[in-house]
Structure 1
Amino acid sequence: MRRIPVLATALAAWVLAGPAVAPAQAAAPTPKPSASASPPGPLLSITVDDGRTEVAAGDELTYRLTVRNLGTTKVADIKVSQSLPTGLTLVSADRGGKSRDGAVTWDTDLTVGQESTFTTVARVGETPKDLLRLATVACATAKDGKKPLVCATHSDLLPAGAVAPAAERSGMSWLWSAGAVVALLIVGLGAIVLLRHRRRRVAPAPAHSASRPTESTDRMAGAVSLD
């Protein structure tokens, strides 16, 4: 009967201790949310092409540049440019393109999924004799950006570039011919040496060595005649 008061006292102490523990757990600091990631930059694509693979002095080339917004937000104040290398002179540019410092530039905005096309006409002039290809580069740069967001290039074979492969092929054919001659000479010399070696191995022994009687045979014949 004495155990009942003891258990009642312990139960009352546990109930009274409960409210004291709850405030301590509630006072624990809550973790701060992590900083949100910075939004990604513009996602663009660009191409440039003149529909040709070979050019020469006096040719007029029509370049088409295509820029497309592949991202999920509008991109404003995009600067599109095309380089004018040595030997390429601008004739015209559509959509108000401006020629400055060896390049043609345009300003444009691109909504989500929008595609814009720019066209230039340029004439091929005198190019360095050792220049093999005539190349142009097209880039798209964001407003106040120092590095382009995306670039593409296109190149056409020049007369010097067309001659170089032919010269290389003729040089390679001469080397192959010389190599074939050397190989034939080595094979012929090896065959001659082998034939001479075989002839020496099969040469017969001198005939007089077999027909001449030895000294022991002469002595035996003398002994027989005395008897």
Structure 2
Amino acid sequence: MRRIPVLATVLAAWTLAGPVVAPAQAVAPTPKPSGAASPSGPLLSITVDDGRTAVAAGDELTYRVTVRNLGTAKVAGIKVSQSLPSGLALISADRGGKARDGAVNWAVDLKVGEESTFTTKARVGETPKDLLRLATVACASAKDGVKPLVCATHSDLLPAGAVVPATKGAGTSWLWYAGAAVALLVLGAAAFVLVRRYRQRRVVPAHARSATERADSPDRMAGAVSAD
């Protein structure tokens, strides 16, 4: 029965070794350029960033969209666009950018290895209470192209996103620890009870053995006399 406490210890260790949910951190990933190549089209890369990771209503943001020609030939008439999601109001756009259909649009020519940057200023308005991030998408397409050749995104954490994940993570973590502690106590108590019962059944007290021997002595003597 030495296996019982060992088994209880193994089960308790397994219970405590489960994943611990840590509170989410309000950290936005660093924007990286994305590129797309086509056998019959240009090779471009694009990035979009506002230099921030979190925003709130009333904040004024400055976005920079950068497009680069990674190909081996000049590309003319590139269409560049940046989306204006709900809750983001355009203030201004440089280089003749025009807002239409929920996006700011530009046109540019790029030589081999050349890049061009476009800037927009926008203000954060009221957003849905359950919206966690405010995201914008920048795309570049070839002249007369329907589908974009390359796109990039950038998102900023909203107040709802900064509060809700941390609260959920902390609550889940505390519940997990509490459940593990209860499971450990139950396993320990069960092992203790089983070991005690086993010992009570197997171990006979010394005074009990003496009484038993005394009770058996007349029988043994009687047996000896009958045999004679």
Deviation at 1:222, TM superposition (A): 10
Which of 205, 208, 222 is equivalent to 2:211?
A: 208
Q: Percent same amino acid at aligned positions? A: 66
Task: State the partner residue of 2:107.
Answer: 107
Change (3 A) 1:95 1:223: closer
Q: Which residues in structure 2 correspond to 1:92-131 (within 5 Å)? A: 92-131=92-131
Task: State the partner residue of 1:14.
Answer: none
2:60 is the alignment partner of 1:54: no
TM-score (norm 2): 0.75
Secondary structure of the residue that 1:80 maps to in structure 2?
Answer: strand
Q: Which residues in structure 2 correspond to 1:160-179 (within 5 Å)? A: 160-173=160-173, 174-179=175-180
Query: Which letter does structure 2 place at the counterpart of 1:210?
Result: E
Deviation at 1:171, TM superposition (A): 2.2
Number of matched residues?
A: 187
Q: Which residues in structure 2 correspond to 1:64-213 (within 5 Å)? A: 64-173=64-173, 174-204=175-205, 205=208, 207-212=210-215, 213=217
Query: Which letter does structure 2 place at the counterpart of 1:64?
Result: R
Moved more, 208-217 or 49-58: 208-217
Distance in 2, Cα, partners of 1:199 & 1:219: 33
Moved more, 187-196 or 76-85: 187-196
Distance in 2, Cα, partners of 1:74 & 1:223: 123
Change (3 A) 1:69 1:210: same
Deviation at 1:43, TM superposition (A): 1.0
Deviations 1:149-207 (A, max 9, x none): 11111111111111122122222222222222222222222112212211221123454
Secondary structure of the residue that 2:131 maps to in structure 1?
Answer: coil
Which of 217, 221, 226 is equivalent to 1:217?
A: 221
Task: State the partner residue of 2:33.
Answer: none
Structure 1 portions without partners, runs of 5+: 1-37
Change (3 A) 1:207 1:144: same
Query: Which letter does structure 1 place at the counterpart of 2:74?
Result: K
Structure with max Cα Rg? 1
Change (3 A) 1:206 1:90: same
Task: State the partner residue of 1:43.
Answer: 43
Distance in 2, Cα, partners of 1:223 & 1:42: 116
Change (3 A) 1:220 1:133: closer
TM-score (norm 1): 0.75
Query: Which letter does structure 1 place at the counterpart of 2:183?
Result: V
Deviations 1:192-226 (A, max 9, x none): 221221122112345433224434624767999xx
Deviations 1:19-52 (A, max 9, x none): xxxxxxxxxxxxxxxxxxx974111111100001
Relative contact order, higher structure (CA 8 A, sep 6+):
2
Task: State the partner residue of 1:11.
Answer: none
Distance in 1, Cα, partners of 2:107 & 2:76: 9
RMSD after superposition: 2.3
Distance in 1, Cα, partners of 2:61 & 2:169: 30
Q: Which residues in structure 2 correspond to 1:3-42 (within 5 Å)? A: 40-42=40-42
Query: Which letter does structure 1 place at the counterpart of 2:214?
Result: S
